[in-house]
Amino acid sequence: MAQLEDVFKKLVSHCKEYGFIYQSSEIYDGLSAVYDYGPYGVELKNNIKTYWWKSMVQLNENIVGIDSAIFMHPKIWKASGHVDAFNDPLVDNKDSKKRYRADTLIEDAISKIEAKAEKEVEKAKTRFGESFDEQLYRTTNPRVVEYLSKAKEINDRLNSAMTNNNMEELKQIILDLEIADPDSGSRNWTDVRQFNLMFNTQLGNIAGEEGKLYLRPETAQGIFVNFLNVQKTTRQKIPFGIAQIGKAFRNEIVARQFIFRMREFEQMEMQFFVKPGSELQWYEHWKNTRMKWHLALGTPAEKLRFHNHENLAHYANAAVDIQYDFPFGFKELEGIHSRTDFDLKSHQELSGKKLQYFDTEDNESYIPYVVETSIGCDRMFLTILSQAYHEEMVPDAEGGEAQRIVLKLHPALAPVKCAVLPLLKNKPELVEKAKSVMSMLTSSFICTYDDKDAIGRRYRRQDALGTPCCITIDFETLENNTVTIRDRDTLVQERISIEEIERIIENKVSWKNLLS
Ligand code: GAP
C-alpha cells in the first residue's frame, strides 16, 4: 500500500514538473480541489475527449451531440431533484473545526477493519506457503471472520442510514465506532446534517431567491431539457442518444486524491432514449460497450471491474459503476444508469410542456426511458496517467543502464506525437535540415523541436511526456536524406527516408488504431 501511495505522489509531481497539471491559483497558495491543465495536459485531455466523442457520436448514426449552457433555469434543478436531494451528510469536529463527510469517515473505519482481516490472511499465506487454502481460511479463522462480519454489519448500517436519510443513525455509528478526527484525534463531533453540493450565484438584475442560479452539478439536465428540440431538428427515431462534454461543479466536502474528486470538473455524458420496457436490454448493451471502450486503450482487464449499486436512487431501475484500480484502490471511473422516465417526466410536470415522443411504428406517444453513460474526463485522465506511468531501467550510451520515467500512452492519445532533434545544435547545416523536417510535419501532427542537452537527455524528456516517436537528424541525413526514428516503448531506432516519416507516424498515431 505504501508503495502505491508512493507511486501516486510521484505521479502528482510528474504532472507538475512536465506541464500536465498545476494547482489552481498556486501563487496564492492554491484553491483546494481545483486544478489547471498545462500545455501537455490540455493536449492529452483534448485527445481523451476526441476519443470519447468519436466513438460515441461520430461512429453512431443514432447519437448526436450538443453543447448546452452551464447556467440553466433554476426550476430545472428543482425538477431533477438536485435542490432537495443532492446532499452529502456533513459533520464538523468541534475542536479542530474541520469538516468531514460522515459517510466517508465511516467508510474509512470499515476499510481499516477490512485491512486487519487482510493482514491476517497475508500472514497466514506466508506461514502456510503452497498448502494455504485462502477461501477456507477466510471463512473459518475466528479473527478473520470476526473482522469481516463486523465490517459487513457496519456497512449494512451505513447503507440503511444513507437510504433512509437517517442523520441520527450516522452520528450514532460514528460514536459507536469511536471514530476520531483524522487530523486532531478529537472525538468531539457536531450532529450530522445534510449539505447541498450545488454552488449558486445570482442573476444580475433579479434580487433574492428569484434570481438564484446554480452552477450545473451534471451536464445531463442540459440534454433532458433539449430532448425534443434535438429529436425534432435531427429527425431521430427512438432509440437514439444525445451526448455532451462540459464542465460540472460540486461543492465537495471532502475533496482529495488530486483530480479524482474536484469541485470544478468535466463530464462526458450520453443519454440514450429508448422505448419503455426495452431499457434493461439497452443498459446491458451500454455496459458492455463502455467496458470495451476502456479495454481498447490497452488497460488490462484485471484493472477494471463492474460494481453494481446496491442501493438504487429512487429514479433508477439499474445502475453500475465501472471501477478502475487507482493507486489508492478500486474506485468509480464511470457510471451507467437506467434512469427510467424520471427526468423527462419531472420536467414535463414542472414546466407544463409535453416531452413526449410520437412513435410512428406503434402509433403511440410516450415519455421515453433513458439509459445514461457518464464519465468524468478528469478521472479518465488520472486513469490513463496511472496506467501509463512507468519507471524502468534501460541501456545507456556507455553500455550500462539508466533509469527512465516513461509515459506509455496510447499513441493516439499522446500530447506530442513526434520530437525533431538535430544531433548537434551548433552545426547550422543540421539545424537547417531539422527545421525543414519540423515544418514538414507540423501541419499534420503536434511536434516539438528540441536541441538542448545531449541526445540521451532529450530522449528522456520525450519519454517523460509520452512522445511516441523521436526523429534525429544527423550527418548521414545530410548525405542521403535519411533520419533515425526511435520508438518510445521498444527503444528501437530505424533509419528511414525523410519522405517516409509522415506515413510512419500517421500509422502509429492514427485514431483508426483505437476506433476499429
Ligand atoms: N449524470 C450522472 C452523474 O453525474 P455521477 O456518478 O454523480 O453521475 C458521473 O458522476 C461521473 O462524473 C463519475 O463517474 C465521475 O467519473 C465523475 N465525477 C463525479 N464527481 C466528480 C468530482 N467531484 N470530481 C471529478 N469527477 C467527478
DSSP H helices, 164-249, are: 167-176, 220-224, 227-234
pLDDT in tens, 335-366: 999 999 999 999 999 999 999 999 999 999 99
> Predicted confidence band at 2 (pLDDT cuts at 50, 70, 90)?
low
- What's the average model confidence in pLDDT over 420-427? 94
pLDDT in tens, 240-268: 999 999 999 999 987 778 999 999 999 99
- What's the average model confidence in pLDDT over 145-156? 95
157 CA distance to ligand 1 middle (Å): 25
- What's the average model confidence in pLDDT over 204-226? 91
Q: What is the CA radius of gyration of the chain?
A: 27
DSSP H helices, 90-141, are: 102-128, 134-140
Share of the chain above pLDDT 70, in %: 100
- What's the average model confidence in pLDDT over 448-455? 95
The predicted pLDDT at position 211 comes to 83
pLDDT in tens, 267-304: 999 999 999 999 999 999 999 999 999 999 999 999 99
216 CA distance to ligand 1 middle (Å): 12
Partnered with residue 266 across adjacent β-strands are 247
Atom of ligand 1 at shortest range from CA of 250: 23
- What's the average model confidence in pLDDT over 481-502? 96
Atom of ligand 1 at shortest range from CA of 218: 4
Residue 433 CB-density burial (10 A; 0-12 exposed, 13-18 middle, 19+ buried): buried
> Predicted confidence band at 311 (pLDDT cuts at 50, 70, 90)?
confident
The predicted pLDDT at position 253 comes to 85
Tally of CB atoms within 10 A around 408: 17
C-alpha cell at 115: 485491512
pTM for this structure? Answer: 0.91
| C-alpha 288 chain-centroid distance | 18
The predicted pLDDT at position 398 comes to 78
Pocket test for ligand 1, best of 32, 265, 386 (most atoms within 8 A of CB): 265
- What DSSP assignment string belongs to 433-499? HHHHHHHHHTTTS-EEE--SS-HHHHHHHHHHHT-SEEEEE-HHHHHHSEEEEEETTT--EEEEEGG
508 CA distance to ligand 1 middle (Å): 32
The closest residue, in CA terms, to atom 22 on ligand 1 is 261
Pocket test for ligand 1, best of 34, 49, 218 (most atoms within 8 A of CB): 218
Atom of ligand 1 at shortest range from CA of 321: 14
Question: Is the model's pLDDT at 421 over the cut of 60?
Answer: yes
Pocket of ligand 1 (CB under 6 A): 218, 220, 250, 252, 261-262, 265, 267, 269, 332-335, 372, 374-376, 378-379
